[in-house]
Structure 1
Amino acid sequence: MEFRQIQYFICLFEEGTVTKAARRLNIVQPALSMQISKLEQEVGQRLFERSPQGMLPTATARHMYRLFLPIMRDFSQARDEVLCNDGEIAGHVNIGLIASITEGVLAETMTKFSASHPKVSVTVADGYSATLSDWVAGGQLDAAIINKPRRPLALSVDHIVDEELVLITGTRHAGNLPARLTLGQIASQNLSLVLTTRRHGLRHIIDSFAQHDNVELAPSLEVDSLVTVVKLVEQNQLATILPRIAVHDRLRAGILRAHAIVSPRLIRQVVSVVHPRRPLNPAAAAFMAMLTRQIRLRAQEQAPGANAAPDSPVG
């Protein structure tokens, strides 16, 4: 089993077709097909099945991908560091973010980071907290920023910030809502709510506090896309519950209004996770440090009291 064969295998797995993989590797297609055939002979099993959709990986291929991807990523990172002789940080960063953080600070952070570290490339994936945690554990991501889950993780977890969730309405919302409401008042106002689905980390937090306070929230709409949730609130007589960071620019521009939720205050804990046996390379460590600073600064701007202890545990 040669290093080159594993490199070709991973590329074909990710691209899905021989044509795309060969183009990415800058080799001719027969050379790629020959190396994959040799690898299959050594493994003793087929790795891909041809279909109209492309090369579909078998169960063996998926298992091999999970095993070899972290090794190849470590090799690439080590190579980048060795070849960077001028002391400047170089390499690739591959991280995951929950959508509310992506909306709030990602663009600003990437702009600043690219200006400071031009030799570093950055890939960012967004998704649910559980999915991102699994990707960090499996080596697909260097690190991720997620909502702290209830269950313990087999990852290194660092606290970033405690952040309040607030009721968000459009500026043209017809309801005469006070600046501060309890969860019970929100439920009794007959508001048309749009919330994320129960698969979403934010919904887990909201439901946890509602159950603790014996409040039933019955959303009219359930949508996981925060971009869509915000547009629905802007354009209709709807309200939602989100962290301020997710709508920072719209609050500042006066497009949306935030109403504090009290008794209990809804607090989410934002954390970063990395694999305990795979320390971050210098590029990833620098990016995560900058991103963490931006999140904390934004949280301070939006909610100076966000770091206070929650009224009831979320986990």
Structure 2
Amino acid sequence: MDIRQLGYFVSLFEEGSTTRAARRMNVVQPALSMQIAKLEEELKQKLFERTSQGMIPTSAGETAYRLFAPILRDLSEAKQQVINRSSTVRGRIAVGMVASVASSVLARSLSSFATQYPEVEVSACDGYSSVLMEGVRAGSLDFAILNKGRRRSELPTIDMLDEEMVVVTSAASARQLGSPLMFRDLANLPLILPSKRNGLRLIVDKIAEDEDVELSIRLEVDSVAAIEELVRRSDWVTVLPAIAVGRGLSEGTLRAHRIVAPRVTRQIVCLHNPRRPLSAAARLFIEVMTAELAAGAEILRMPAGD
């Protein structure tokens, strides 16, 4: 097995066609097919099934890709850093983040990062914390930005932001709320919250359990944008980090009310895999996002109910 064979394998896996993979690797199709056959012989596993839809990976092929792709990416990154040995940062990073972060600061972070480091290619996605963590473990993501869970993770984390969660209402709502609110006051409010798969919901549920408060949850919606729109159009309320609904708060269409006794907070962390050290580009991206998160939280730091 050599690096060239692994490159052919990854290309075929990602392209799903020997013709496209050969073109991508700048070789003739028979040469690529021969190297794949040699790799299968060495691994004693069939890696692809030829079908009318193209080359379909077998279960062994799926496993091989999950293991080999990060190795190739790390080698490419290492080679690039040795070659360039200059202040110019180059490379590719794959980052995942929870939707409440992606919807609030991702666009600004990408714009700022691309301006500062134009030679770095960034692939960004959002998803549930459990899915993102699996991506980091498997190597499809270099790191993930998510809410710190109650259980200690076996993967190391970097602290990014501690943020207060608030009760959010429509600025046009006829519902008059005191400010600040006791957590127990939430029991009397018609709530729209994310589903139990969402880390933000787990934070609220844990405090409700500890305080023996039964919440009146009318709707479960995982899209922060949809929750914001529903609250804006109704007398329903939600509990979210202020930064997640920052646009509505800044525009004055939404109103935030602090929660006390106890306060509701979330910790945003960056989770990564110690077996694949963070590249220089990855660390710089984390720095940019941390700064954008802090700036967004500072702008929205306002008197409760304002």
TM-score, normalised relative to structure 2: 0.89
The residue aligned with 2:259 is 261
1:279 is matched with which residue: 272, 277, 280?
A: 277
Q: Distance in 2 between the 1:128 and 1:52 partners?
A: 34
Give 1:166-315 correspondences, 5 Å limit: 166-189=166-189, 191=190, 193-303=191-301
Aligned equivalents of 1:174, 1:257: Cα separation in 2: 12
Number of the residue aligned with 1:109: 109
User: Alpha-carbon deviations, 1:145-166, whole Å to 9, x = none?
Assistant: 1111122222222222211111
Shift of 1:176: 2.0
Going from structure 1 to structure 2, the CA distance change for 1:284 and 1:254 (only over 3 Å counts) comes to same
Residues 107-128 of structure 1: CA distance to partner in whole angstroms, max 9, x if unpaired? 1111111111111111112112
* Whole-Å separation in 1 of the counterparts to 2:90 and 2:195: 39
Shift in Å, 1:201: 0.7
Structure 1 residue runs without a partner (length 5+)? 306-315
SS at structure 1 position matched to 2:216: coil
What residue number does 1:152 align with? 152
Question: By how many angstroms is 1:171 displaced?
Answer: 2.4
Counterpart amino acid of residue 61 in structure 1: G
| Equivalent AA in structure 2 for residue 68 of structure 1 | F
SS in 2 for 1:252: helix
Does the CA-based 8 Å contact 1:163-1:303 persist in structure 2? no
Q: C-alpha offsets along residues 245-265 of structure 1, whole Å, 9 cap, x if unaligned?
A: 111122101122112122211
Q: What CA distance in whole angstroms lies between the structure 1 residues aligned with 2:109 and 2:255?
A: 25
Residue 220 of structure 1 aligns to a residue whose secondary structure is strand
Separation in structure 1 between the aligned mates of residue 254 and residue 14 of structure 2, nearest angstrom: 40
- Residue 179 of structure 1 aligns to a residue whose secondary structure is coil
Query: 1:43 aligns to what?
Result: 43
SS in 2 for 1:219: strand
Moved more, 239-248 or 79-88: 79-88
* SS of residue in 1 equivalent to 2:217: coil
Map 1:90-169 to 2 at 5 A.
Answer: 90-169=90-169
Question: Structure 1 168/8 Cα, relative in aligned 2: closer, same or farther at 3 Å?
Answer: farther
Per-residue deviation, 1:272: 1.4
CA contact 2:166–2:242 (8 Å) conserved in 1 = yes
Partners in 2 of 1:129 and 1:100 — Cα distance?
A: 11
In 2, Cα distance between equivalents of 1:109 and 1:211: 36
Which digits, 9 at most, give the CA deviation of each residue in 1:83-126, with x for residues without a partner?
32543111112222111111111111111111111111111121
**Residues 148 and 268 in structure 2, CA contact (< 8 A), matched pair in contact too:** yes
Conservation of the 8 A alpha-carbon contact between 2:188 and 2:216: no
TM-score (ref. length: structure 1) = 0.87
Q: Identity rate of aligned residues, in percent?
A: 44
- Aligned-partner SS, 2:177: coil
The CA deviation at 1:69 is 2.1
Measured against aligned partners, the alpha-carbon deviations of 1:193-213 in whole angstroms (never above 9, x if no partner) come to 221111111111110011111
Decide whether aligned partners of structure 1 residues 235 and 14 sit closer, same or farther in structure 2, where only a CA change above 3 A counts. farther
Unaligned ranges ≥5, structure 2? none
Aligned to 2:64: 64
User: What's the C-alpha RMSD, in Å, of the aligned pairs?
Assistant: 2.4
**Residues 235 and 26 from structure 1, CA distance in 2 versus in 1: closer, same or farther, beyond 3 angstroms?**
farther
